[in-house]
């Protein structure tokens, strides 16, 4: 048993997202989202899987939260589906949708579980996409802020921790560069930066409004942070790493924390004619929000390697492993700037994601030195194939080993001076992986369903009991 533990007020948690767990996609007045439509396009998801039923959390949330309570979970991060609150994105409130989330919050609070709300986890109302192009149009900023402030007003007495946007870098990259997420656009670089700019403004206006409405609450964005390493000490590789960081990491984190874009990345994008236009008023807003933000939310799964990429080299549009067949990921990059080969020192998951516990510590230290902000690890976990035995048990030592190594790295970061408020594993129950179907499992609780459906029965995995001990000992059991 280690003597190392996390600080006293630290929160041990787990996370989910509405589309990936709820199902009930047309119940109780919910409107349709971009994802409800996108999954109908043949070939977009693994074996045409959808979240129409997902893991039926909408009807089983009481059972799921009771399982969280029995485990001793201290915080539960979940997202709210915009379409349950405003089915058309704006206009009349759908009270049934609000009541659903209120019941989740109240159930958590009764059990002593701190609710943590994500306002946007990728599911924009389809009505707004059809009306004006969703994130592509600046009109989205006020509609988002209207939706967000409605919820903040409504739940401010009960919820302290709020996350504006989940992985803005991922939903915009997949949506406007690689066509893997809605709206399925390919290589639209200028639009990609414009969309991001709108998302930054929506985040910033929400943060400013939040501080007026809920001054004691805590708010931040969740960034999918993949720290980078240079492949070699060749200056070209070191420069590739620096350019990658400015374009792929600091482009987002600097705006959240400093309220401005990294200058060299901006200059490079300007020279390509794709940099977003920033008005003086917007610059002031971004700076104000950055001064008010409480924490950096980090979704950490893996690190990246950077190597110089010649002009005729790798592009961002290479094949991604969504089948779980190891070795099917291709190298991506930006010609003339960087490419991201595999790390020869690291093992990978079946989906070719590198496994790098020290990278989590690296991420925390980088954020601490660069931004001096507290950190919420809003996601971390292992997607794997699991087997349900005939005794209804799931032996997942690989998940325990993954989480144990990452939590040890987190404790190291905490002891090195990083202020870490919470750690949420991805995920509590198994759920739908957007592009990888139901076979890529992340939960502590197995859900008996596959692409074809199932009983939806819940079974505790070995990792469930293991995390229970970790929480009870505040990390000391590791
Ligand atoms: C994050 C998302 O990108 O990683 C989650 O916030 C997602 O919604 C998780 O499920 C794991 O990714 P994947 O592709 O394995 O489901």
pTM of the full structure? 0.97
Q: Which two tokens stand for residue 165?
A: 């946007």
Nearest-atom number in ligand 1 for the CA of 167 is 6
Whether residue 383 has its Cβ less than 6 Å from ligand 1: yes
Q: Ligand 1 centre from 475 Cα, in Å? A: 25
Burial class of residue 62, CB neighbours in 10 A (0-12, 13-18, 19+): exposed
CA distance 376 to 105: 19
Q: Ligand 1 centre from 311 Cα, in Å? A: 31
pLDDT in tens, 150-177: 999 999 999 999 999 999 999 999 999 9
Is 17 within 8 Å of 428 (Cβ atoms)? no
What is the pLDDT at residue 3?
59
Q: Which of 271, 339, 330 has its CA nearest to residue 310?
A: 339
Q: Which of 195, 197, 202, 145 has its CA nearest to residue 175?
A: 195
Whether residue 174 has its Cβ less than 6 Å from ligand 1: no
Burial class of residue 417, CB neighbours in 10 A (0-12, 13-18, 19+): exposed
CA distances from 354 to 317, 341, 347, 432 (A): 19, 11, 6, 21
* CATH number, span 11-309+336-472: 3.20.20.80
Angle, vertex CA 87, rays to CA 81 and CA 93, nearest 5: 95
Q: Which of 78, 225, 379 to mutate to test the pocket of ligand 1 (most atoms within 8 A of CB)?
A: 379
CA distance 218 to 202: 17
CA distance 293 to 282: 16
Q: Ligand 1 centre from 160 Cα, in Å? A: 24
Q: What are phi and psi of 385, to 5 degrees?
A: -80, 135
Q: Ligand 1 centre from 279 Cα, in Å? A: 33
What is the pLDDT at residue 431?
98
pLDDT in tens, 115-152: 999 999 999 999 999 999 999 999 999 999 999 999 99
Q: Whose CA is nearest to atom 12 of ligand 1?
A: 433
Burial class of residue 65, CB neighbours in 10 A (0-12, 13-18, 19+): buried
CA distance 102 to 258: 34
Whether residue 49 has its Cβ less than 6 Å from ligand 1: no
What residues contact 415, with CB distance under 8 A and at least 6 apart? 4
Nearest-atom number in ligand 1 for the CA of 433 is 16
Q: Ligand 1 centre from 366 Cα, in Å? A: 22
User: Where exactly are the structural domains of the chain?
Assistant: 11-309+336-472
Whether residue 166 has its Cβ less than 6 Å from ligand 1: yes
What residues contact 427, with CB distance under 8 A and at least 6 apart? 14, 15, 16, 20, 21, 381, 442, 443
The single residue of 22, 282, 307, 379 carrying the catalytic annotation is: 379
Predicted complex: ipTM over 0.95: yes
Catalytic residue list contains 404: no
Whether residue 350 has its Cβ less than 6 Å from ligand 1: no
What is the pLDDT at residue 408?
97
pLDDT in tens, 371-400: 999 999 999 999 999 999 999 999 999 999
Q: Ligand 1 centre from 433 Cα, in Å? A: 6
The two beta strands, 375-379 and 296-299, are parallel
Give the chain's residues under pLDDT 70. Answer: 1-3
Q: Whose CA is nearest to atom 11 of ligand 1?
A: 433
Whether residue 17 has its Cβ less than 6 Å from ligand 1: yes
Whether residue 434 has its Cβ less than 6 Å from ligand 1: yes
What is the pLDDT at residue 1?
46
CA distances from 268 to 228, 246, 265 (A): 20, 10, 5
Q: Which of 299, 354, 439 to mutate to test the pocket of ligand 1 (most atoms within 8 A of CB)?
A: 299
Q: Whose CA is nearest to atom 2 of ligand 1?
A: 167
């Amino acid at each position: 048993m280690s003597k190392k533990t996390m600080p006293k007020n630290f929160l041990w948690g787990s996370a989910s997202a509405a589309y990936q767990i709820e199902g009930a996609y047309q119940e109780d007045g919910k409107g349709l989202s971009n994802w409800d439509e996108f999954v109908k396009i043949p070939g977009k998801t693994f074996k045409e899987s959808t979240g129409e039923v997902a893991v039926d959390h909408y009807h089983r949330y009481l059972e799921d939260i009771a399982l969280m309570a029995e485990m001793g979970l201290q915080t539960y991060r979940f997202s709210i589906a915009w379409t349950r609150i405003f089915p058309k994105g704006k206009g009349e409130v759908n009270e049934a949708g609000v009541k659903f989330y209120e019941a989740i919050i109240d159930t958590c609070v009764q059990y002593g579980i701190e609710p943590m709300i994500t306002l946007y986890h990728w599911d924009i109302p389809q009505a707004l996409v059809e009306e004006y192009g969703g994130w592509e149009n600046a009109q989205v900023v006020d509609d988002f802020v209207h939706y967000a402030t409605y919820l903040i007003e409504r739940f401010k007495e009960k919820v302290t921790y709020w996350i504006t946007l989940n992985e803005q870098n991922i939903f915009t990259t997949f949506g406007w560069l690689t066509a893997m997420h809605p709206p399925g656009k390919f290589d639209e670089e200028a639009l990609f930066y414009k969309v991001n700019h709108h998302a930054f403004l929506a985040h910033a206006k929400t943060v400013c409004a939040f501080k007026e409405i809920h001054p004691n609450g805590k708010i931040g964005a969740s960034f999918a942070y993949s720290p980078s390493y240079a492949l070699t000490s060749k200056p070209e590789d070191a420069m590739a790493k620096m350019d990658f960081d400015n374009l792929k990491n600091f482009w987002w984190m600097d705006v959240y924390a400093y309220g401005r874009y990294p200058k060299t990345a901006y200059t490079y994008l300007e020279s390509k004619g794709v940099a977003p236009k920033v008005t003086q008023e917007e610059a002031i807003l971004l700076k104000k929000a950055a001064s008010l933000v409480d924490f950096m939310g980090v979704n950490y799964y893996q690190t990246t390697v950077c190597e110089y990429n010649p002009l005729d080299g790798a592009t961002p549009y290479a094949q991604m492993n969504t089948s779980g067949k190891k070795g099917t990921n291709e190298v991506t990059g930006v010609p003339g700037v960087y490419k991201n080969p595999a790390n020869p020192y690291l093992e990978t998951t079946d989906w070719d994601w590198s496994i790098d516990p020290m990278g989590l510590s690296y991420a925390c230290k980088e954020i601490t030195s660069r931004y001096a902000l507290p950190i919420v690890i809003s996601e971390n976990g292992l997607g794997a194939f699991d087997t349900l035995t005939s005794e209804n048990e799931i032996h997942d030592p690989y998940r325990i080993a993954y989480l144990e190594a990452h939590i040890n790295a987190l404790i190291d970061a905490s002891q090195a001076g990083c202020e870490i408020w919470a750690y949420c594993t991805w995920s509590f129950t198994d759920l739908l992986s957007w592009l990888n179907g139901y076979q890529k499992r992340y939960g502590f609780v197995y859900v008996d369903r596959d692409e074809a459906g199932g009983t939806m029965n819940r079974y505790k995995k070995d990792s469930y009991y293991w995390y229970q001990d970790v929480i009870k000992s505040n990390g000391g059991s590791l």
